[in-house]
Amino acid sequence: EQINKGKYEHYMQKEIHEQPESLTTTMRGRLIRGGSCKAKTVLLGGLKDHLKTIRRSRRIVFVGCGTSYNAALAARSIVEELSGIPVTMEIASDLVDRQGPIYREDTAVFVSQSGETADTLLALEYALENGALCVGITNTVGSAIARHTHCGVHINAGCEIGVASTKAYTSQIVVMAMLALAIGADTLSNQARREAIIDGLFYLPRKVKEVLKLDKEMKDLAKLLIAEQSLLVFGRGYNYATALEGALKVKEVALMHSEGILAGEMKHGPLALVDENLPIVVIATRDSCFSKQQSVIQQLHARKGRLIVMCAEGDKASVSVGGSSRVIEVPHVVDCLQPVINVVPLQLLAYHLTVLRGYNVDQPRNLAKSVTTQ
C-alpha cells in the first residue's frame, strides 16, 4: 500500500484529519449493538481466551512511553470503574530503573504504537520474568511487543508516519475503553453505563469530524501564540492525560516549552507562574470535575492569567470570565471518551504552530518515530 500525503502538506496534518476513519477502523467488527433483545457489547478476539484471568487479577499495570503512556493514563479511570480492579501507571523506563514490584497476579498491559520501543520491550521482559499476564496494545502486527505478549489487541489505526503520534493516540484510548468494557462485561450493575459508552463509541467518529472543523480557529490561535516561549495546559480527571498529551505535541513539533499540569495541583506550585503574559489552556469540558475547573478558571483569572478555555458546546457563558479569555467549544461526548475529542484542537494547534514557526512537522529535530535503543 502506498502511503502518501494525498491532499495534505504533511503527514501529521493528514493523520490528524483522518481520525474519523482511523477510529472507525479501530472499532470495526468489535462493537456489537444488536436488535432489541441483543445486548450491546464488545468483542476483542485477541483477548477472548484470557479475559477470565484478567478479571481475576489483583491489579492492572499500564506500561508505555510518550504518547502511548498518555493514552493509557486517559483510559485509566474507565478501566478502574468498569473492572473494579486497581490500575497503576508505569513509564516503561522507570519501571525497569526501579525494578518495581510486578506479581503473578498482575495483568501488565504494554501500550506502544510501533510495538518496538526498547524501553517498553525491556519492561515487558521484566514483567514476563515476574510471571504477570502480559497484554500488548500496538499498531503494528508482528511487532516485538505483539509477538512477546501473551495476548493483545491491535489498534488498527493504519500506518502512522509523522513522528508525533496523533491518530494512534485516539485509537489507543478507544481500544482501552473497549478493554474496560470487555473486562466489565459481566457486571450487571454497570450495564447502563456500558451501553452509554458503546453508544458514545458509535457516534465518536462523527463527533471527531465535527471537532476537526476547528482547524481554522486553531490556526488563528497559533498565529497569536507564534512568538511565545511557553504554554501551560491545565486538565484534571479524564483530561489530565489530554493536558499532558497536548503539551507534549506542542513541545515535540513546535519546539515550544509546554507543560501539562494536573489542575488539582495548581496551588502547589504552578500558580506562581501565572501572570498576564503566559498563555494557559484550561480544559473544562462537562464531567464530574467541571465545577472544580470553573473554580480553577476563576482563580487563574483573579491572578490575571491569559486564559484559553476549552469547554463543551453551549457552555461558553459558564466558563467565560470578564470577557478576557478565549473560548474553544468542542462537541460533548460521554465523559470517558471526551479525551478523544479534546486532544484534537491541541493537535491542530501544535501542527499550525510548527508550520508558522517554520519547523519540520514530520521529523522534529532530535526525535525518532520509534526509539529502539535505550
Of residues 120 and 171, the one with the C-beta less far from ligand G6P:
120
Judged by CB under 6 A, does residue 153 bind ligand G6P?
A: no
Determine the interface stretch with ligand G6P among 27-35, 112-120, 182-190, 253-261 (rule: CB under 6 A).
112-120
Per-residue mark of binding to ligand G6P, 314-353 (x: CB under 6 A): ----------------------------------------
| 165 vs 294 by CB, closer to ligand G6P | 165
For position 120 contacting ligand G6P by CB under 6 A, the verdict is: yes
How far apart CA 216 and CA 193 sit, in angstroms, is 35
Cβ distance to ligand G6P smaller for residue 226 or 371: 371
Minimum distance of ligand G6P from residue 94's CB (angstroms):
14
114 binds ligand G6P (CB under 6 A): yes
Give the distance, in angstroms, between the CA of residue 364 and the centroid of all CA atoms in the same chain: 20
Cβ-proximal residue to ligand G6P, closest one: 66
Contact indicator for 22, 11 with CB cutoff of 8 Å: no
State how far the alpha carbon of 20 is from the alpha carbons of 17, 50, 57, 167, 295, in Å: 7, 30, 34, 9, 33
Backbone angles phi, psi at 281, to 5 degrees: -90, 130
Site string for ligand G6P, 27-66 (x = CB under 6 A): --------------------------------------xx
In angstroms, the CA 297 to CA 149 distance is 44
Cβ of residue 71: shortest distance to ligand G6P, in angstroms? 8
* Distance (Å, whole) CA 199 – CA 202: 5
C-beta closer to ligand G6P: residue 83 or 120 = 120
Residue 365, exposed/middle/buried by CB under 10 A (0-12, 13-18, 19+)?
A: exposed
Interacting span for ligand G6P (CB under 6 A) from 96-104, 210-218, 222-230, 362-370: 362-370
Does position 370 interact with ligand G6P (CB under 6 A)? The reply is yes
When binding is defined by CB under 6 A, the residue of 165, 325, 338, 347 that contacts ligand G6P is: 165
Q: Does 371 bind ligand G6P (CB under 6 A)?
A: yes
* Helical spans, DSSP H, in 184-289: 191-211, 215-225, 240-254
Answer for which of 224, 267, 367, 372 binds ligand G6P (CB under 6 A) is 367
* 99 contacts 129 by C-beta, under 8 angstroms: no
Per CB under 6 A, the list member of 74, 163, 221, 300 interacting with ligand G6P is 163
* Residue found under cell 526525535: 367
Residue 265 DSSP SS3: helix
Which is nearest to 133 in space by CA: 72, 50, 77, 62?
50
In the complex with ligand G6P, the residue whose CB is nearer, 252 or 315, is: 252
Closer CB to ligand G6P, 53 or 93, in the complex: 93
Candidate residues 112, 171, 294, 347; the one interacting with ligand G6P per rule CB under 6 A: 112
Report the site for ligand G6P in 290-319 (rule: CB under 6 A). Answer: none
Residue 88 or 370: which CB sits closer to ligand G6P?
A: 370
φ, ψ of residue 161 in degrees (nearest 5): -105, -40
Q: Are 356 and 6 in contact (CB under 8 A)?
A: no
d(CA 180, CA 194): 9
User: Which helix (H) or strand (E) segment is 187 a member of?
Assistant: none
Say whether residue 26 binds ligand G6P (CB under 6 A).
no
Give yes or no for residue 93 binding ligand G6P (CB under 6 A).
no
Are 150 and 171 a contacting pair, CB within 8 Å? no
Least distance from ligand G6P to the Cβ atom of residue 138, Å: 8
CB of 364 to ligand G6P, least distance (A): 8
The count of C-alpha atoms lying within 13 angstroms of the C-alpha of 166, restricted to the half-sphere facing its C-beta, is: 34
Number of residues that bind ligand G6P (CB under 6 A): 16
Q: Kindly state the helix (H) or strand (E) to which residue 107 belongs, with its residue range.
A: strand 106-112
CA distance 367 to 321: 39
* Positions that interact with ligand G6P (CB under 6 A): 65-68, 112-114, 117, 120, 163-165, 367, 369-371
